Amino acid sequence: MKLEGQVALITGAGRAGKGIGRAIALRLAGEGAKIVIVDYVAEAAEAVAKEVEQMGGEALALQANVADASDVERMVQAAVDRFSKIDILINNAGITRDNLLVRMSEAEWDAVLDTNLKGVFNCTKAVAKLMMRQRTGKIVNMSSVMGIVGNVGQANYSASKGGVIAFTKSVAKELGSRGINVNAVAPGFIQTAMTEEMPEDARKGIEDRIPLRRLGTPEDVAEVVLFLCSDASSYITGQVIAVDGGLAM
């Protein structure tokens, strides 16, 4: 298996149903990785950990707020206490607080930037210290096509995801000499619990804008993440791969 013996820490991986984090956790576990599942809600992380264990994998569920640096340090230490190392970091935790700019509150702006961008900073900084000592590691940051093209009502979300892209490129340059690959994945419209709640006409309108004429699946994203975590991507760093059916080209 591609990731046999490796330890992967995935934030925001406790999403119920068809969440991207959950799909990544199950896919990496299927390739032999030991999985640390982190979520803001403890029960959500534990549920996915049980799924990993039911498929024969090994998992640790942790509750943490990625926007809190001290909480992240505690989370990383708990993962190391259990598995002794971290080989892979997937910065997947993210939230939305959509609103038009002139109606957006400071609280809505701060909440999204704190989780989506500061959270990536906190987790990467904490895990990078370990990876630098190991002189190896894979970091995958979840951005969004909205961080590339923007979106009405998502100035906060788009800014956070655009920041993740710039952060990825900078950190890739800093850590490359230590054998650490840092890349970003930018999903488009993906079939999740949120998109399933959309009205049929709105969903059809989105599909008509996508060259492949369908929404993506969490598994579509997970396959790309697996590639970036495996030895097959050993000479790829600082890149942004859009998984969007051609929406942003």
Residues recognised as catalytic: 157
The one-letter code for the residue type at 136 is T
Task: Please state, as a whole number, how many other Cβ atoms lie within 10 Å of the Cβ of residue 87.
Answer: 21
Best CA proximity match to 10, nearest among 1, 29, 110: 29
DSSP secondary structure letters along 11-47? ETTT-SSS-HHHHHHHHHHHTT-EEEEEESSHHHHHH
CA–CA gap between residue 21 and residue 230 (Å, rounded): 17
Cβ atoms of 216 and 187 closer than 8 Å = yes
